[in-house]
A and B are shown apart, each in its own frame.
Chain A
Amino acid sequence: MHDGTGRIVVQNLTKQFGPVAAVQNLSFTVEPGSVTGFLGPNGAGKTTTLRMLLGLVTPTAGIGLINGRPFSQLGNPARVVGAVLEAQGFHPKRTARNHLRVYAAAIGVPDSRADQVLQLVGLGAAGDRKAGGFSLGMKQRLALATALLGDPQILVLDEPANGLDPEGIAWLRTFLQSYARSGRTVLISSHLLAEVEQTVDQVVIISRGQTMYYGPLDHLRDQQQGRVLVQPSDTGALVAALREDGITGIEQLPDGRIAVTGVEARQVADTALKAGVSVYGIQEEKADLERLFFQLTNGQYAAPGQYAQPVAYQQPPGYQQPPPGYQQTPPQGYQQQYQQPPAGYQQPPPGYEQQYQQPPQGYEQYQQPAQDYQAPPPGAQQPPQDNPYGQQHGQGGLGGGA
């Protein structure tokens, strides 16, 4: 029937909804034993891809394979793959336990399994309550419980952290990691890298329905390039001196400073000293994952082609050079953003939970840097015109440090 490898293979998946290309020629592989993050901004095609993989949406082209088979050929599919697709899909008048028993019967597992999974997701006391009265977080837990009924080898979760409280997210992270460590496969989608950064080992980043990056998260981390922002007394002299030292990644910022890519602050300072240029201010700026993710997925709604650099399906991934957006000089305020000590971002921020205590801010972050979102939802603050990155700075806990 299926090969039992626990491998998910997505090959050239394409889905056209009328004139809208939701997914374009998407390919990646998810291996067992690891948690793979499936990342992209809202509307990037994540949900459609997962639904095609699960046989709910028919692809226009390409194929999604689970254990070497399309979903429809898995036999008893819920024994192989469990999916959390949305915090809906419950009859509001049916109790949580009855909901689980309905599907336990379909899968062919004993009714006692319903109570087991209820306990597992922390809904043991709510089994006799109707799903209609559940909070979003409880519905997410119930959806996860449903996915776990058949004790599947593969778990697919679409934005499972939505509506979960900090405690719930911490629990989910631990749960998914231990699930993967037992040799099983976990694929988890999110539009927030920070949300899953602590959870995933591999990432697939898509934008506008195309793969932008595919590979281990550590590779992505290693490939970040920092830059040094320096305020010299004589810009021309310093640039000349740096060029002499063979440093070419130099850029003039509108505020009079220059940005030097690919060097350390000390080297710039030494060069300035040798050239007899005073340095009024110098700082190292480290690109954090969040920014990298933004660059990779940037321009989803911009002019077509501008950022269309889908990385070919390959290992190791082809994120060799920063995408065009990186070079663009950010407006005032951008610089302040990365003033935190460079070492800081490497460490996981203390307490994963804390990050999620400000979900509105995290969300704003994606509203603002781009023209992507025409109308911010009520409550989202409009950033000052000249400082679109200001809010991003505001949630330093996400980027690292602190």
Chain B
Amino acid sequence: MGNLIKSEFRKTTTTGLWWGLMIPTVLLAFGWALGTGAIFKTVSDFMNSSDAEELASLLNVDPSQWQMSVFGIARSINVATIFPMIFGGLAIANEINRKTITTTFLTSPNRVSALGAKMIVYILWGAIFGIAIVASVSIGIALTSDAGSLPDAGGWLALAGVGVLSSILMTMFGVGVGALMTSVVGTTVVLLLYMLIVENGIQLVLASQGLPEVIGFLPNGAVNGLTGSVASSLFLSNAGVVPEDMVEALRAFAGALGAFDWWLSGLIFLVWSGLFFLGGWAATQRKDIT
């Protein structure tokens, strides 16, 4: 198995795909962090202005304690993990497309170990992408946010942890879908369409029908819940008194509407990834390589 993992890792480093996707990942993460940092800064500036102070005291809240930046961090991570997902999606689809899968199977004791080694290598890559995303987001958010709205070290660590975790899970999800679809274009289009458009539409419908709790079970809802839940609980734990009505709005703000606790969200998403991977595994296992 060690040999196969080494082989699979070499496959990823001997073509340009990893850095071809790493560059937009870092740029997108950094850009979103800069943007969201700036937006939330404007919001908190407004909340701290004399006009809003009255409102704040009326609502019995203290906006100066609000770490608005955590929402920006969560949102930026969610967007940037699209790229590791695509990277994972191409893992098996590309091999089938390039016909390198033939030699891969001819040099592996069996298909299970070949695919297993691939999964392990892509989990590693998911972590590498995750670290790059967290670093880019952290720098971006720090540049545009007030020091007061940034999370403390513990909060940052928690966000960084779920950020890397969600990147890993997104990569695994991609590997699973790619194994099932076996087409490079198909995998890329389906993953992007679903994650960026289809599920957002479903979420809107569910939210408007008063069924937001279902969102937490959907793939995108679950993975967003991972970072979003941590962000909103961080915010709530530091914000002092927050009216009940505002909690739900804050969770939506964080991209975690209807999501469960971070660990439960992660578990749900892991189940989705596992389902696709097992499906793709089963399909590849029996597939005639011609």
Bits for B1-37, please: 1 = Cβ < 8 Å to A, else 0: 0011011001100111000000000000000000000
A51, A77, A102, A146: which contacts B14 (Cβ < 8 A)?
Answer: A102
| Majority-rule SS of B interface residues | helix
Answer whether residue B49 sits at the interface, using C-beta atoms and an 8 A cutoff: no
Q: In the complex, A106 Cα to B110 Cα: how many Å?
A: 12
Q: Find the residue from B3, B100, B102, B106 having the highest chain A CB count within 10 A.
A: B106
Q: In the complex, A57 Cα to B289 Cα: how many Å?
A: 6
Q: In the complex, A83 Cα to B103 Cα: how many Å?
A: 9
Q: Find the residue from A72, A89, A99 having the highest chain B CB count within 10 A.
A: A89
Listed stretches A90-98, A205-213, A232-240, A393-401; interface member: A90-98
* A107→B105 contact, CB < 8 A: no
Complex interface residues of chain A between 70 and 111 (CB less than 8 A to chain B): 72, 74-78, 83, 85-86, 88-95, 98-99, 101-103, 105-108
Chain A residues near B15: list those with CB within 8 A: 91, 93-94
Decide yes or no: A51 and B10 within 8 Å by CB, A77-B109, A91-B98 being known contacts.
Answer: no
Q: In the complex, A106 Cα to B4 Cα: how many Å?
A: 5
Complex interface residues of chain B between 94 and 119 (CB less than 8 A to chain A): 94, 98-100, 102-110
Residue of B with least CB distance to A55: B105
| Majority-rule SS of A interface residues | loop
Complex interface residues of chain A between 201 and 252 (CB less than 8 A to chain B): none
The interface size of chain A toward B, counting residues with CB under 8 Å, comes to 37
Bits for A14-39, please: 1 = Cβ < 8 Å to B, else 0: 00000000000000000000000000
Chain B residues near A105: list those with CB within 8 A: 3, 6-7, 10
Chain B residues near A103: list those with CB within 8 A: 7, 103, 107
Q: In the complex, A91 Cα to B4 Cα: how many Å?
A: 18
Q: In the complex, A108 Cα to B4 Cα: how many Å?
A: 8
Bits for A175-205, please: 1 = Cβ < 8 Å to B, else 0: 0000000000000000000000000000000
Q: In the complex, A106 Cα to B16 Cα: how many Å?
A: 21
Answer whether residue A48 sits at the interface, using C-beta atoms and an 8 A cutoff: yes
* A54→B106 contact, CB < 8 A: yes
Decide yes or no: A108 and B3 within 8 Å by CB, A48-B290, A89-B99, A102-B10 being known contacts.
Answer: yes
Residue of B with least CB distance to A150: B107
Decide yes or no: A102 and B7 within 8 Å by CB, A77-B109, A89-B103 being known contacts.
Answer: yes
Q: In the complex, A108 Cα to B99 Cα: how many Å?
A: 22
Answer whether residue A61 sits at the interface, using C-beta atoms and an 8 A cutoff: no
7 CB < 8 A contacts A-B: A55-B105, A72-B110, A77-B108, A86-B102, A91-B15, A91-B98, A101-B10
Which 4 residue pairs across A and B have the least CB separation, nearest first? Answer: A106-B7, A98-B14, A105-B7, A56-B289
Q: CB within 8 Å of B: which residues of A? A: 47-48, 51, 54-58, 72, 74-78, 83, 85-86, 88-95, 98-99, 101-103, 105-108, 146, 149-150
